[in-house]
Structure formats: C-alpha cells, structure tokens
A and B are shown apart, each in its own frame.
Chain A
Amino acid sequence: MSTEILDGLAAIVNEVAGVPVADVQPDKAFIDDLDIDSLSMVEVVMAAEDKWDVKIPDSEVKNLRTVGDAVAFIEKATA
C-alpha cells in the first residue's frame, strides 16, 4: 500500500474534518471510526480528485468504507 497516498489522504481528512493525521489508518472506517459525515466525505472525495487528478464516481464512493479502500482505489486509478 502506498504510504504516499495514505499520507496525502490523512492530510486531506485532517484538513476537512480535523481528525489527527495519526488516526487516519488503513483499517479505519470513514464514518464509523473517524466520524466523517456524508458532507465531509464529499469534501474528502473532491480534495482527493483534485490532488491525484482522478475521478471518483458517486457509485464508487459507497464502496470506500475504510481509508484502505480509498488508498487502493486511488492507487489503481493513478497506476
């Protein structure tokens, strides 16, 4: 798993929702563990799209339950 993408995502989650960077780990669920609400999740997705120049369709967002899911999606999309 790319630590570069994980670190970038942690910075975004911190910026958007104030979650400490160290708490943003691959096994953590955005909603259940990190207390990201649906609006903030949209912000995370928008910021990730900007940062890695990828498209994350709404149909995919519901599959990104954990931070690890998101890292894997971005890895694949930028490969």
Chain B
Amino acid sequence: MSYAGGIVVTGIGATTPVGGDAASTWNAVIAGHSGIATLPYAWADDLPVRFGGVLAVDPGDVLDRVEARRLDRSQQSALIASREAWADAGAPTVEPERMGTVVGTGIGGVITLLDAYDVLKERGPSRISPHTVPMLMPNGPAAVVGLEHHAAAGVHSPVSACASGAEALAWAARMIRDDRADVVMAGGTEAPLHALTIAGFASMRALSPRNDDPAAASRPYDLARDGFVMGEGAGMLVLEREDHARARGARIYARYLGAGMTADAHHIAQPDPTGAGAARAMAAAVVEAGVNASEVIHVNAHATSTPQGDIAEAAAIRAALGLETNAWVSGTKSMTGHMLGAAGSVEAMFTVLALHHRIAPPTINLDNLDPQIELNVVAGKAMPLPDGDLVALNNSFGFGGHDVAIAFGSYA
C-alpha cells in the first residue's frame, strides 16, 4: 500500500538557545539575535571552550517536577517541543494505529550516562537509578514523545549525528507514503552540554575557541570562522496527509515535498571537499519534489561555521542547483549554535516558516564573506521572499558522512 497525495506541515514546536517556543525562536532568528554565551556552569571553567548555546528557557521551569526527574534533558526538550507542536496543530483526533513518531538524536542521553557513571564510581552499583537506562537510550526521546501522543503506528529514532533531526522528517514522510500513518510527530533533540562532549569535539578541533567573544563565534561563511558552537535544543514538526489535514480544516504552514538521503563514503568526520554526497542529496530532494532545481529560492544551509564544511556545502549547492542559482542561503547556526541532532528539525522549521511568512532569516556575524563561498548569502538582515509558489531546501550533514536535504513548498 502506498499514498501518493500531498504531505503538509500542520504544527511546529521548539525550544532552543534563542527561545523557549517556536514563536519566540523564530522572532529572535528573524531579528538576528544570538543565543550564544559563556556557559554558566562551574564544570566549564577548565575547558578549552567555555561557551555554547544553553536553552533560553530551562525545561525544569516548564515540566512537572516528577515528570522532569524521570527524563534526560534531551527527552525533556523533545517532550516540550512535541506538546507545543501538537497543540499548534489543533490536537487532531487520530487513531493510535495511524499515529507515528520519529525523533532523532545525535548522542542520546549523554548527560544521564555520564552522571550515572559518576554515581557508580562514587557510591557503587546499588545507587544507580532504575530510570538510568530509559533516560540514556538514544531511542528514549522518540519513545517518550510516542507515549505522549499514543503513537502506535510506529516509533523510530534515526541516529546520524547532526543529520538526525532532518533524517527523522524524511522517515516520517516515508511512514505516510507507505500508508502506515496519517499523522507523524517528527523532529530531533539534543542535550550535549557536558565537559566530556565539549572536550571531545574540542579535541577534534571542531569547535570555535573564541572564548572572549562567544556571540561572534558562530560565523558561517565569514573569512574568520574557526569552528562550530555547540548548542542544545529540540524541534518538532507535525507532518500530515494533506487530505486528512484539509478534512479537519487544519492550518497548513507548508508542503513537505521530498527528501534526499545520501552518504559521502569519504571520512568519519571530514566532509568530502567536493561536496558530491551533499549535492546528490539536494538533487534527490529536488527530484522527489517534482520541481526544477532553478525553482529553489531559499536554502537553510547546514553552515556550521567550520572552515572546510562551509566551502564543501557551498560547492554542493552550486553543483545541485546550478552555478547561476539565485537561491538565498541562510546560516541560522550563526544565532542558535549547532544543536547537533536537533539542528535539522529546528532548521526545517525555519525553512517552513520562511515559506509561510515569506522571509528568509539572516546569517549574522558575516563581516567578510569568504570569496570561496560563491552564494547569495542572506547577510546581516532578514530578506523578504517573493509571492507565488516557492520551493526551499534544508540541508543537514553529520559526522559519519550523512547527507540529508529536505524540500518544502509554500502552501497557497
């Protein structure tokens, strides 16, 4: 069985370093506000990198106390974002057997894991909480969100580093295409801020060391970029069959048009400098969308602010969309930092809202465009998008060589 009709986005939710919900996050991003600051934790004092993107609103201030203590921070964020997205979608009535959930994460409950290991060493095995395993397992956020929304059609959790959140959306659409579900709650979540993860990424020389000016550290496409900035967050989208959404009179933000998922097959952490895998993902997304590459008007780029990654992606965009592409490219990690497994879903939400409100978010901290970046970058200030049918892409790539591109279309 398969479903060949339209798939639409009917609900959004997020919690990020720039806002505690989707609306405040979007408003901050359109205004060009940075969510990056010195980490307010004593454990960060001795680290080579002492800043990042901490959630603007602590999940402990949102969730019930007992609920919060049984959930890893990544699960807390996922649950908050999914509740917002569900309410935003109008809390549709769906048979559990037709309701799906796909939530990705890059690392899973790493804070739970490391804190529990501290307890094990200091107090012994008898003091390990019975909630430890459900809190640290990488499918935990998907399971928690699936329980919340009675998703009996299936609960899935792609793990593909920084492409996880985007991959979740692609698999969610696949559930609808395969006629396994009418509605799917899909997104990504990450709560990676711990001394060990920061030390690990810093050891790879992947992080910007700009401790003296955190808000300027994430600077995609700028000549002085020197690494990414780690952040935490979650983003959720409600994907729904178009006929199902229309029948219940749902507000529709945008169309989900297609996805491309490929792999570099090049290196465990370095991007393929030719961008070939990324270009194939974008081309595949455009093909599934049934549009011409020249129609793509906006790209929410992966653009992590690493020296090599930004150049490889720029080459890939030109390879996939054409050397004369007029697409306006935004690097929103300049404001949110890199939320790893949540990045793809939060940025998919930005792409959807860019089409819905017809405005592309800015790339901040772009003082001197690297001449190797031959793209129309939305620099400094948000840029209005034209009327008519619009197509936009969201790119997400992950350590391991995962390349995911998602195509969305405006909904008239």
A interface residues (Cβ-Cβ under 8 A, vs B) = 16-18, 38-40, 42-43, 46, 49
Q: Is the CB of B129 within 8 A of A43?
A: yes
B4 within 8 A of A: no
B67 CB, min distance to chain A CBs, angstroms: 8
A57 CB, min distance to chain B CBs, angstroms: 11
Cα separation A42 to B127 with both chains bound (whole Å): 10
Interface string of B114-139 (1 = CB under 8 A from A): 00000000000011011100100000
Cα separation A39 to B64 with both chains bound (whole Å): 18
Cα separation A46 to B126 with both chains bound (whole Å): 8
B42 within 8 A of A: no
B27 CB, min distance to chain A CBs, angstroms: 34
B282 CB, min distance to chain A CBs, angstroms: 45
User: Which residues of the other chain, A, contact B134 by a CB distance below 8 angstroms?
Assistant: 39
Those of B56-88 within 8 Å (CB) of chain A: 64-66
A-B residue pairs in contact (CB < 8 Å), sample of 18: A16-B66, A17-B66, A18-B64, A18-B65, A18-B66, A38-B130, A39-B130, A39-B131, A39-B134, A40-B130, A42-B130, A43-B129, A43-B130, A43-B131, A46-B126, A46-B127, A46-B129, A49-B126
**Which residue of chain A is the closest to B127 with respect to CB atoms?**
A46
**Which residue of chain A is the closest to B123 with respect to CB atoms?**
A50
Cα separation A42 to B126 with both chains bound (whole Å): 10
A17 CB, min distance to chain B CBs, angstroms: 6
Identify whether the interface residues of B are mostly helix, strand, loop, or mixed. helix
Cα separation A18 to B126 with both chains bound (whole Å): 23
Cα separation A16 to B69 with both chains bound (whole Å): 8
Interface string of B306-340 (1 = CB under 8 A from A): 00000000000000000000000000000000000
Cα separation A78 to B134 with both chains bound (whole Å): 33
A45 CB, min distance to chain B CBs, angstroms: 9
B68 CB, min distance to chain A CBs, angstroms: 11
A77 CB, min distance to chain B CBs, angstroms: 16
User: Which residues of the other chain, A, contact B66 by a CB distance below 8 angstroms?
Assistant: 16-18
User: Which residues of the other chain, A, contact B126 by a CB distance below 8 angstroms?
Assistant: 46, 49
New contact pairs (9) apart from A17-B66, A18-B65, CB-CB < 8 Å: A16-B66, A18-B66, A38-B130, A39-B130, A39-B131, A39-B134, A43-B129, A43-B131, A49-B126
User: Which residues of the other chain, B, contact A39 by a CB distance below 8 angstroms?
Assistant: 130-131, 134
**Which residue of chain B is the closest to A38 with respect to CB atoms?**
B130
Cα separation A46 to B129 with both chains bound (whole Å): 8
**Which residue of chain A is the closest to B64 with respect to CB atoms?**
A18
A62 CB, min distance to chain B CBs, angstroms: 15
User: Which residues of the other chain, B, contact A43 by a CB distance below 8 angstroms?
Assistant: 129-131
Cα separation A53 to B54 with both chains bound (whole Å): 38
**Which residue of chain B is the closest to A14 with respect to CB atoms?**
B66
A76 CB, min distance to chain B CBs, angstroms: 21
A-B complex: 8 closest residue pairs judged by Cβ atoms: A18-B66, A42-B130, A39-B130, A39-B131, A43-B130, A17-B66, A43-B129, A46-B127
User: Which residues of the other chain, A, contact B127 by a CB distance below 8 angstroms?
Assistant: 46
Cα separation A4 to B131 with both chains bound (whole Å): 28
B162 CB, min distance to chain A CBs, angstroms: 32
